[in-house]
Amino acid sequence: MSARLTRRPAEAEAVLVSQDVLSRLKGDILDGRFAPGARLRFAELQREYGAGIGTLREALSHLLPEGLVELDANRGFRVAAISAEELRDVSALHVEFECRAIVASVKHGDEAWEAGLVLAFHRLSKIERLSREERKARSSEWLAAHRDFHRALVAACPSRWLLRLRGQLYDHMERYRLVSQRHRPLGPSKRAEHEAIRDAAIAREAERAGALLAAHLRETTETVLRHAPQFMPAAP
């Protein structure tokens, strides 16, 4: 094999480090560890992630087109701001794309897709059956299981572009939900809603699955908006 086609170990390791930094930085922005609008200073990021400026700049450049960070002229990067107006805009698009994706997924899903959905729901429901205190203690596990469940619902959608755009909108909605969660009590388990969506999908009731999912997503948005004055800056 040509040397040009063989990635050297050092290069492969650098790619892994870069991906790890990107993943960690994105996660910290999504869950509100870096506050909306906050400056992202390279010196602080270097201490936090143990990475060089080049790796950090590359990670931030990836997050720029995703709308999670903004370039502040002559001052570097900052976390993208949030607002109730943007939340409503993102939510409307998220519902539309998510519902289009699940309808297509249900119509095209095979047995492997169905098995993956059942497994994803099982993992999520194990956490959602726990007491409120236990769910709070295992919030990071719930976040991963919840993301996997929603991804499993749409996994059989044949449109890669739809899935890509849907994924970006999911991330933005997750950011709003996680930031607001710091300012509100833990709500009731969503297990019944998730189960109803799963049942409709498994029964191949595509339109019903889409309607249930839309109601589920809109309710989440309304919950976030109820707490918006506590974590969003007031309009000028």
Token pair belonging to 17? 């480090």
CA distances (Å), origin 146, targets 3, 38, 232, 233: 42, 27, 25, 28
State residue 127's pLDDT score.
93
Hey, which residues does 70 pair with through a beta bridge?
A: 78
Q: Point out the least confidently predicted range of 55-64, 66-75, 81-90.
A: 66-75
Q: What CA–CA distance (Å, rounded) separates 12 from 165?
A: 28
Which band of pLDDT confidence, cut at 50, 70 and 90, is reported for residue 80?
very high
Q: State how far the Cα of 3 lies from the Cα of 197, in Å rounded to an integer.
A: 50
Mean pLDDT of 62-90: 90
| Structure-block tokens of residue 183 | 């300012």
pLDDT tens digits, one per residue of 208-228? 999 999 999 999 999 889 888
Closest CA to 195 of 107, 98, 124, 101: 124
Model confidence pLDDT, tens digit, residues 185-209: 777 778 999 999 999 999 999 999 9
Res 4: pLDDT? 47
> d(Cα 159, Cα 184) in Å, to the nearest integer?
36
Instruction: Confirm if 117 and 153 have CB atoms less than 8 A apart.
Output: yes
Pairwise CA distance, residues 91 & 163, whole Å? 16
Split at pLDDT 50, 70, 90, the class of 42 is: very high
pLDDT confidence of 235, banded at 50, 70, 90?
low
Q: Which residues pair with 76 in a beta bridge?
A: 72
Residue 17: pLDDT band by 50, 70, 90 thresholds?
low
| pLDDT for res 215 | 96
Percent with pLDDT over 70 in the chain: 91
Q: Could you tell me the end-to-end alpha-carbon distance of the chain, in angstroms, rounded to an integer?
A: 61
Q: Please give the order of strands across the beta sheet that includes 39-40.
A: 39-40, 76-79, 69-72
The single-letter code of the amino acid at 26 is K
List of residues 6+ apart from 170 with CB closer than 8 A? 94, 98, 147, 150
Q: Average the pLDDT over each of 16-25, 53-62, 146-155 and give the range with the smallest value.
A: 16-25
Residue 205: CB atoms within 10 Å: 14
Model pTM? 0.83
Of these ranges, 65-79, 102-116, 220-234, the one predicted with the greatest mean pLDDT is: 102-116
Q: How confident is the model at residue 137 (pLDDT cuts 50, 70, 90)?
A: confident
Per-residue model confidence (pLDDT) at position 119:
98
How far, rounded to the nearest angstrom, does the alpha carbon of residue 221 sit from its chain's CA centroid? 14
pLDDT at 152 over 80: yes
Mean pLDDT of the chain: 88
Cβ within 8 Å of residue 110, ≥6 positions away = 156
For the chain, give the percent of residues with pLDDT over 90. 61
